Structure 1
Amino acid sequence: MRPFNLRPFTPNTLLIVALLAATPAIAIARVPDAPAAKPEAEFPLEAYRKTVALRATINGVPGRFTFDTAGGSTLLSPDYAKKIGCKPWGRLTGFQMMGNRLDTPRCDNVTFKIGEREMPLEVASVLDVTQFIAKDAEPVEGSIALDLFAGRTITIDFPGKRLLIESPESLRERIAHANVKELPAKLSGEIQGRALAISIKVATADGPVYFEVDSGNGGTILVSKPYAKYFGLDPDKEGPQEANFAISPDFRATGMAFTPDMLLDGNIGMPFLRDKVVTFDLATGRVWVAKP
């Protein structure tokens, strides 16, 4: 749920459609007889409703955070900010996915400890994320976005429920496999470059568009109204409709789709990601996806 391109999780906006049945985990074979290169770090992910979450500690205070690849800016709830001794100040300003402006105060120089690894973050947004999730959802202390991993290369093994920070050696080994395909992509960052997200380039008959990769989107495919026709969708239909279109020669997006009039070209969430292993180079904007 990207705060500066945010999807509100409310009945008044988009219907959240249930995910399809879970699929088996991906097995990525390495080169025979070659020792497996170790990543710099590996963290467990856990299921959180239709998305995933991470456990982390700040200033000795543990918490559970949703992990949102399209979040842009890492979020701390006001209560959690108080617990860790942060006095929110100033203002961060951006725009939600549907175009409305969002202003939040900020916490500076926050260090997340995930497992045994310390992850410093210059600026975090302070926002009550419970307003964007179902009222019966288990509590979270905020949301971790890609800005926490800026400049690094990470792999998100969605079926295996793990997040890895790749070493140069482990990255070379991972992307050498035949079932791992690179997709053209680009980084994006709002709030004066503090936020960070990544989008995959998708061809149309008239030119390329970019679909944001969004682990915080639990159940839908979103295609902006002006581009709906290029993907076999009705731009004037208000409710969900079936989508089945090519992201690349190797991958398709299938599932329930909406065609809102939003700022982004498109957005692909867990219906696309749930059975894949995705690698993001957050320094250069390169993306690799393992075929299930």
Structure 2
Amino acid sequence: MSIVLTVTKTSYAQPAVPFEITSQGHIVVKAKINGVEGNFIFDTGAGLTLVTKNFANKLGTLHKQDGSYTSFRATGEPLTANLYDVESVALGSFTEQHAQLTIFNVNLGPIDGLISLMSFRKQPFTIDYIHKKIIFETDKSLAAIHKKAHVVPLQLEISRDKALDVFAYFTVNNKLTLQFLIDSGSGMNIYRLNTRYITPLGIDTVNATKTTHPSEFNPKVVTAIYNANVQSIVAKSSAAVACQNVKASFIDGLIYDGVVSLNWIGKQITFDLKKQEMLVW
């Protein structure tokens, strides 16, 4: 499906959308789908945009595509999704026309769904944790940010023009350079690694705490997790993007090298997916 992105012009150069941060560290924004407003998690790791069944009922009849899409959660759990066409997905003055999304019958409390990166392939934006807003950047503002930011190259995984995730390379404990999914939807201060790296990183599993976690979508799917300390995680491209002595989770069956949250990377983080860059400033 061809995606057409448009930004409504306003009297100011850089439109912005305020957000709230939950106690778990999720970024929650007001967004409108087909003109119906709801509360959504802005989720760089969602892949595709999702709404709950309760919210979908407010939208009336949606056109269901004949085909479906099977994706995999980071733990390898398959999720087969029906896809629906909607007229628009809007955050403030930014609007994606002729979008697609999926519907899941899940209870997310006050949250009506997840907004993915698919809407922003052509629109650079900044997540500003200081002022709690998402800013839609212009060519001029991007040039100014480039002069002061640390540039982290991104690798994009675009699946069948239906889902999009972003990755970057980080060096762990000065030993391994691994490619991590950057997932704002994971919460705050989240560092997840594949258990295959326990031995190469010299992790002491004898003293590590082991827990299990059932899937939110299928409670029968249970993941084993080892919690242990990691000395350092540093962006391969910039030593300024780093954290030290953090509690990490080593997860059985993780399909990636690792998954990290967004909040620790910087206070102001710009995504330019056209150039495959993350600018940290």
What TM-score comes out, normalization by structure 2 length? 0.77
Alpha-carbon distance between aligned partners in 2 of 1:214 and 1:58, rounded to the nearest angstrom = 23
Matched, 1:227 2:197: yes
- Output the amino acid matched with 2:251: P
Q: Could you tell me which residue of structure 1 aligns to residue 257 of structure 2?
A: 265
Deviation at 1:235, TM superposition (A): 6.4
Alpha-carbon distance between aligned partners in 1 of 2:175 and 2:232, rounded to the nearest angstrom = 16
Alpha-carbon displacement from aligned partner over 1:121-152 (angstroms, at most 9, x marks no partner): 5321212343xx5xxxx411110011111122
Deviation at 1:91, TM superposition (A): 1.6
Matched, 1:196 2:196: no
Q: Could you tell me which residue of structure 1 aligns to residue 20 of structure 2?
A: 46
Q: Could you tell me which residue of structure 2 aligns to residue 247 of structure 1?
A: 234
- Output the amino acid matched with 1:253: C
Contact 1:243 1:253 in 2 (8 A): no
Task: State how many pairs are aligned.
Answer: 243
Matched, 1:103 2:74: no
Any idea what SS the aligned residue of 2:163 has?
A: coil
Deviation at 1:101, TM superposition (A): 1.0
Residues 158/217 of structure 1: CA separation in 2 closer, same or farther (3 Å cut) = same
Any idea what SS the aligned residue of 2:142 has?
A: helix
Matched, 1:84 2:27: no
RMSD: 2.4
Matched, 1:62 2:37: yes
Q: Could you tell me which residue of structure 2 aligns to residue 209 of structure 1?
A: 178
Contact 1:244 1:252 in 2 (8 A): no
Contact 2:89 2:97 in 1 (8 A): yes
Contact 1:155 1:280 in 2 (8 A): yes
Deviation at 1:270, TM superposition (A): 4.7
Alpha-carbon distance between aligned partners in 2 of 1:214 and 1:167, rounded to the nearest angstrom = 24
- Output the amino acid matched with 2:186: N
- Output the amino acid matched with 1:147: M
Deviation at 1:87, TM superposition (A): 4.7
- Output the amino acid matched with 1:264: Y
Alpha-carbon distance between aligned partners in 2 of 1:112 and 1:284, rounded to the nearest angstrom = 23
What TM-score comes out, normalization by structure 1 length? 0.75
Any idea what SS the aligned residue of 2:251 has?
A: coil
Residues 184/42 of structure 1: CA separation in 2 closer, same or farther (3 Å cut) = same
Deviation at 1:69, TM superposition (A): 0.8
- Output the amino acid matched with 2:232: F
Residues 232/278 of structure 1: CA separation in 2 closer, same or farther (3 Å cut) = farther
Any idea what SS the aligned residue of 1:256 has?
A: strand
* Aligned ranges 1:68-217 → 2 under 5 Å: 68-85=43-60, 86-89=62-65, 90-130=67-107, 138-177=109-148, 180-190=149-159, 192-203=160-171, 208-217=177-186
Q: Could you tell me which residue of structure 2 aligns to residue 7 of structure 1?
A: none
Contact 1:146 1:196 in 2 (8 A): yes
Deviation at 1:170, TM superposition (A): 0.3
- Output the amino acid matched with 1:173: A
Deviation at 1:41, TM superposition (A): 2.2
- Output the amino acid matched with 1:126: I
Residues 283/62 of structure 1: CA separation in 2 closer, same or farther (3 Å cut) = same
Identical positions, percent = 25
Residues 231/70 of structure 1: CA separation in 2 closer, same or farther (3 Å cut) = farther
Alpha-carbon distance between aligned partners in 2 of 1:73 and 1:203, rounded to the nearest angstrom = 28
Residues 169/271 of structure 1: CA separation in 2 closer, same or farther (3 Å cut) = closer
Any idea what SS the aligned residue of 1:250 has?
A: strand
Structure 2 gap segments, 5+ residues each: 1-11, 211-225
Alpha-carbon distance between aligned partners in 1 of 2:202 and 2:267, rounded to the nearest angstrom = 24
